[in-house]
Amino acid sequence: MEPLTFDSSDVGLIEATVSKLYSKLHIGAVGSSTRARITRRVMAPGLGFDDLDYSFDIGYSGEAQDRIIICDVISSTIRRVGEGYDETFGPGDLFLISRPGLPYAGVAHSTRLRFTVLDPAICARVAATTEDGAAAPVRVLGHRPVSGPAALQLRHTIGYVRDHVMAAPEAERAPLVVSAATQLLAASVLQAFPSSAATDTTAEDRRDANPGTLRRAIAFIDANPDIDIGIADIARAARVTPRALQLAFRRHLDTTPLAYLRRVRLHHAHQDLAQASRGDGTTVTTVSYRWGFPSPSRFAASYRAAYGVPPSDTLRR
């Protein structure tokens, strides 16, 4: 996935470009003006945000592709055909224009759209449920969100990642921030759409949610706070499923593995601020990004709750 800025009135070139971005498509144009403008920004190898602006009615028919494509209609309407449905969506609607492995078709009526393009492997990593913590495939089972509140939460998460995290160049270059934001969005997608991700704990999970599991998980987190780790990695190190891991943290610490990871990273951020030297370039923002906190304001709130003072006070001292 690469960044792109595209602006053309050549229907053949438009067809070739959208085919390269998504999957092989055949398009038909209606209207004397056939201009299409497409911009893609890339957050991570498996996550991109596309803005599409068509000045004409474009009919399209695409072959099956391998990405989750979430469509947000900004203006006019788009008709979606497939999976036994023939529906028209307008401004404010959020839906999957296509699901991985399925062909798709429809008509965009001189519309402006925003796409969030996500590799299902990211969702699989977030929802890993196998015994060794491996990222088992996760299938999205429907193109509509499960509820209005779920759709609204997903819209807010997409907006936060696209318009705030990506707007800060320092954040975009911070590996832990990119990882945290990408996993946050993937988790929001799994909550918003029906999927095959298993969430129920088994008798074996309950048996494995013991102090030994907790000790192994904590040791792994404490040793690796500065690298990109998630639920699957921690569960693998603890030799249990992510469900058992979650249960162990809830049962014995009344928290979650990722909340504990954030607490450890907050401690390291505190140490960096306390040990900074005048003139070395350390700022609250750079420290928050270094330790995987995408929002400096939220970092400051968490820091104050943990240490009783704003992070700027620690840095000044």
CATH architecture, domain 4-119: Sandwich (2.60)
Domain with CATH 1.10.10.60 in the chain: 262-316
Specify whether the CB–CB gap between 138 and 123 falls below 8 A: yes
Measure the CA angle with vertex 77, ends 32 and 157; round to 5°. Answer: 125
Helix/strand/coil (H, E, C) string of the chain?
CCCEEEEECCHHHHHHHHHHHCCCEEEEEECCCCCEEEEEEEEECCEEEEEEEECCEEEEEECCCCCEEEEEEEEEEEEEEECCEEEEECCCCEEEEECCCCCEEEEEEEEEEEEEEECHHHHHHHCCCCCCCCCCCCCECCCCCCCHHHHHHHHHHHHHHHHHHCCCHHHHCCHHHHHHHHHHHHHHHHHHCCECCCCCCCHHHHHHCCHHHHHHHHHHHHHCCCCCCCHHHHHHHHCCCHHHHHHHHHHHHCCCHHHHHHHHHHHHHHHHHHHCCCCCCCCHHHHHHHCCCCCHHHHHHHHHHHHCCCHHHHHHC
What is the model's pLDDT at position 136? Answer: 57
Total Cβ atoms within 10 A of residue 141: 12
What is the model's pLDDT at position 134? Answer: 47
Over residues 153-187, the pLDDT tens digits come to 999 999 999 998 888 888 778 889 998 899 889 98
- Phi (first) and psi of residue 173, to 5 degrees: -90, 0
Q: What is the pTM of this model?
A: 0.83
Residue partners of 117: CB distance under 8 A and separation at least 6: 1, 22, 40, 47, 48, 49, 50, 67, 68, 69, 70
Q: What distance in Å separates the CA atoms of residue 20 and residue 22, rounded to the nearest whole number?
A: 6
Q: Within the chain, which residues score under 50 in pLDDT?
A: 129-135
CA-CA-CA-CA torsion sign (289, 295, 301, 305): negative
Q: What distance in Å separates the CA atoms of residue 74 and residue 144, rounded to the nearest whole number?
A: 17
- What would the two tokens of residue 79 be? 């008709």
Q: Which one, of 155, 133, 142, 244, lies nearest residue 199 by Cα?
A: 244
Taking the CA of residue 32 as centre, how many other CA atoms within 13 Å lie in the half-sphere pointing to its CB?
A: 0
Any idea how long the chain is? 317
Q: Which CATH superfamily is domain 262-316 in?
A: Homeodomain-like (1.10.10.60)
What is the model's pLDDT at position 198? Answer: 61
Burial degree of 105 (CB within 10 A; 0-12, 13-18, 19+): middle
Domain with CATH 2.60.120.10 in the chain: 4-119
